[in-house]
Structure 1
Amino acid sequence: MADIRSALADHAAPGRHGTPGQAPGVVLREVSGAGLVQVAAWPDTVEAAMARLAGLAGIAAPETTRIATAGTDVTLFRLAPERFWIAGAAADRLREAVAGAFAPEEAVVTDLGHSRTVLRVSGPEVRAFLARSIAIDLDPAAFPLHSVAQTALHHVGVLVHFAAGTPEGDAFDLYIPRSFALSHWHWLTHLAEPFGYEVREALAAASG
């Protein structure tokens, strides 16, 4: 498989912006090496597909579209009753095994690795920052760890995943269509100016 060139290449240089002398309220970085494979089953095969997918990934398949299941290097999302995403560093490793595990009448497997850019947004002000751009209640009581939502960000459909809790603030991954990634990057950095923000080197998917 050809290497995936970042849609943000030459546009996401590390550095601090917005509030000199203060700790950044928001941290922005790309997640690199995040493969993405879609498995779309049929209504009468979805239960068997879930069991097979869980066996291949080594973690339970999600029962709902609201909560993802996550392992060390793989996350499973349920985007619709019969449609799943395998994301993370392990997605590329699992691609061929997943493709070979399903006959066409059981499920359709599609490599989406080139179709999305994943941005990780974190920091002590991350919820206030995201509240300016997405219409989701991100309070931890309403949106706990590994919650997932499909919503609009700057008029474009994205997937939002509460990926991790960190000492400097919770971290959310935004799965953005690649063709909109650069315009969204510029828009998000502009939106982050009042909070003060730091751009960091890309985060390897396996360490996320």
Structure 2
Amino acid sequence: MPDLPQHKPVLAGAAYSGISGAGIRLEALPEGHLLHVLGTIEPAALATELAKAGFTSSSIRKAGFRQWFVAGDEPLSPAGLNALAAALAGKAFVIDQSHGRVRIGISGRSSRVLLSKGTAVDLDPAVFAEGSSVMTMIGHISVQIARTGDDSFELTVLHSFAESLWDELKHMATSAEKDSGA
């Protein structure tokens, strides 16, 4: 009997082991979990329900009108998803996007320079503060950019575009380091 297929992260292997240069760090983040929440629940109430369902280290990112992504590094358990769906019943719907999207981390003093090469979003901290997120395009690829720190960002992309985005970011990282004088 043949072996069952094993899950392999999209950005696995030596080609995606991360890039560290002067001023930029590019890394494939754990596939963990990504939930799409749609409904009338407000972010503070959603955070409360997430904590009750055991998603204490997950982050909430605005994804559109009355829509949020809930992202975290831990794998999703069916029991956790069921508990959250039950807690949100009548207020919001939860859709598991964990296998359909990939997260990429970008950090370092040149991270904004890198991202400015691919998107028109103003990433200045005065405009796009920590915790902010936006759906945008990098080249022809739709991504969500979330600011996770002063010089750190997380990009969420559809699974099938992850490798193309990675290659584009590698190219932009080389150019960004030259432009920043690193």
TM, length-normalised to structure 2: 0.79
What amino acid is the match of 2:173?
A
Q: 1:3 to 1:78 in 2, by over 3 A?
A: farther
Retained in 1: the 8 A contact 2:31–2:102?
A: no
Which residue of the partner structure matches residue 25 of structure 1?
Answer: 23
User: 1:139 is matched with which residue: 95, 115, 124?
Assistant: 124
Q: How does 1:103-182 map to 2 (within 5 A)?
A: 103=89, 106-165=91-150, 170-182=151-163
Q: 1:91 to 1:50 in 2, by over 3 A?
A: farther
Q: Matched residue of 1:58: which SS?
A: helix
RMSD of aligned residue pairs (Cα, Å): 2.8
Q: Deviations over 1:82-134 (max 9, x none)?
A: 2222111367254221122244x543221100111111011111111111101
CA shift, 1:53, in A, is: 2.4
> What is the count of residue pairs matched by the alignment?
169
In structure 2, C-alpha distance between the alignment counterparts of 1:109 and 1:72, rounded to whole Å: 17
- Unmatched segments (≥5 aa) in structure 2: none
Q: Deviations over 1:38-85 (max 9, x none)?
A: 2212xxxx14x75652322239xxxxxxxxxxx962111222232222
What amino acid is the match of 1:128?
V
TM, length-normalised to structure 1: 0.70
In structure 2, C-alpha distance between the alignment counterparts of 1:39 and 1:129, rounded to whole Å: 30
What amino acid is the match of 2:163?
L
Higher relative contact order (CA 8 A, sep 6+): 1
Retained in 1: the 8 A contact 2:31–2:75?
A: no
Q: Deviations over 1:123-175 (max 9, x none)?
A: 1111111111011111111111111111001212110001023xxxx110000
Q: Matched residue of 1:92: which SS?
A: coil
What amino acid is the match of 2:48?
G
Which residue of the partner structure matches residue 53 of structure 1?
Answer: 46
Percent of aligned pairs with the same residue? Answer: 28
What amino acid is the match of 2:61?
F
Q: Deviations over 1:8-41 (max 9, x none)?
A: 122213565xxxxxx5221100110431112212
- Unmatched segments (≥5 aa) in structure 1: 17-22, 60-70, 198-208
In structure 1, C-alpha distance between the alignment counterparts of 2:85 and 2:56, rounded to whole Å: 22
User: 2:164 is matched with which residue: 183, 199, 207?
Assistant: 183
In structure 2, C-alpha distance between the alignment counterparts of 1:14 and 1:84, rounded to whole Å: 28
In structure 1, C-alpha distance between the alignment counterparts of 2:165 and 2:48, rounded to whole Å: 36
Q: Matched residue of 2:34: which SS?
A: strand
